[in-house]
Amino acid sequence: MKTLFTGPWIKCDLLQTWLEKHGIPSTVEPVEPGNTPTPDADGVEDLDREMRVRVPEADHPRAHDLFFTEREGEL
């Protein structure tokens, strides 16, 4: 597995959903072990917690191209 993106949990969760829609398996894991998002006393998760999205090495170039390569003509 190779890291595709590191950032807030909410962005990693969205990226994982997009990857699934394109048939690319992925995992979201905490950058620091034991730092998994959990609800606070009010039942709200810490959406800014630092996480990383990992994809299989064979799928990394395709995943990177899908989400990080500039598209011509999108302006």
CA separation for the pair 22, 62 (Å, rounded): 10
The model's pTM: 0.75
Q: pLDDT at residue 71 above 90?
A: no
pLDDT above 80 for 70: no
In the chain, the DSSP E strands lie at: 2-8, 27-30, 50-55
pLDDT tens digits, 11-47: 999 999 999 999 999 999 988 776 555 655 554 566 7
Mean pLDDT estimate for the chain: 83
Which pLDDT score is estimated for 4?
Answer: 96
2 pLDDT tier (thresholds 50, 70, 90): very high
